[in-house]
Chains A and B, each alone.
Chain A
């Protein structure tokens, strides 16, 4: 596609529910990142994929968070047993080459609200 696409754009979940957020990066992009952005703050790194390999997951806040990119293109961020503090915008970004390659292209984000 022309840009990074994320779905759903908005998700409301009851506390304890599982959610799955999808990211379609720009076709052919090697690197894919997930970020979490709280209101009024800059994004916080969650995880990084180079093709299908998850090379860094140090930013995932707990073992309730899981991300995959099985075929090196589409990625899914899964949050199990959601809690109110998980409410945030989840941003996906891709870049053409591997790390330190420069320009990132961001999707519009998935806004998660946990009640």
Chain B
């Protein structure tokens, strides 16, 4: 059974720093991996989707990488801003069912 882990659970950094969020998964037979953002009291917003055949995806200041063999993905945020403060979750999708398997998230605080 797939297990997705995100470490650290919380992270606080000063504005302007570059930072990396980590996501690990136990079953490498994934179809894709997605990164989402969740603001307090809100739903989830899809940030980046990496297909299993891809190594990375970029959107603006965000870059997500995928290493299936080691069961790891990272989300890199460049030049962090206070508006980036949110909880970031990763989720994997497999070939065999309809379910996304989620990590518990990393709560990110960017201090002005």
Q: How far is the CB of A81 from chain B (nearest CB, A)?
A: 26
CB closest chain-A residue, reference B48: A103
Q: How far is the CB of A58 from chain B (nearest CB, A)?
A: 8
Assess the A108–B95 pair: CB atoms within 8 A.
no
Contact with B along A39-60 (1 / 0, CB 8 A): 0111111001000000110110
Number of A-B contacts (CB under 8 A): 61
Interface bin, chain B: 20 to 34
CB closest chain-B residue, reference A44: B102
Report B-chain residues with C-beta under 8 Å of the C-beta of A48.
98-99
B63 at the binding interface (Cβ < 8 Å): no
Residues of B that sit less than 8 Å from A by CB: 4, 31-32, 34, 36, 41-46, 49, 89, 91, 93, 95, 97-105
Residues of A that sit less than 8 Å from B by CB: 4, 33, 35, 40-45, 48, 55-56, 58-59, 91, 93, 99-100, 102-109
